[in-house]
Amino acid sequence: MKYRLACIYCDREDFDGVSKLPNDWTFVERHQTHRQSTRPYDDPSKAPPEFVVFNWFTHLGICPKCQ
């Protein structure tokens, strides 16, 4: 499985699609299943609120630059 990891403070995309989570990031929480991350909700109004904002990332964290 691939991880789609985003930093909550900056817009870097270099960890979008990695197969291994980096050790030097601080992880906030796992937000979604992989399946949910592969496509956005057809009707965003039916998605749980926390899925609307980050509807394509599986993990959110704080990258080393922002720690």
Rule CB under 5 A: is residue 63 a binding residue for Zn ion?
Answer: yes
Q: Residue 28, interface with Zn ion (CB under 5 A)?
A: no
Measured from the Cβ of residue 62, the count of other Cβ atoms closer than 10 Å reads 15
The answer to the question of residue 10 lying near Zn ion (CB under 5 A) is yes
User: CB neighbours of 47 closer than 8 A, spacing ≥ 6?
Assistant: 41, 55
**The one among 7, 15, 37, 61 contacting Zn ion by CB under 5 A:** 7
Least separation in angstroms between CB 24 and Zn ion = 11
Nearest residue (CB) to Zn ion, 10 versus 33:
10
**Checking phi first, is residue 32 left (phi over 0); if not, alpha (psi -120 to 50) or beta?**
beta
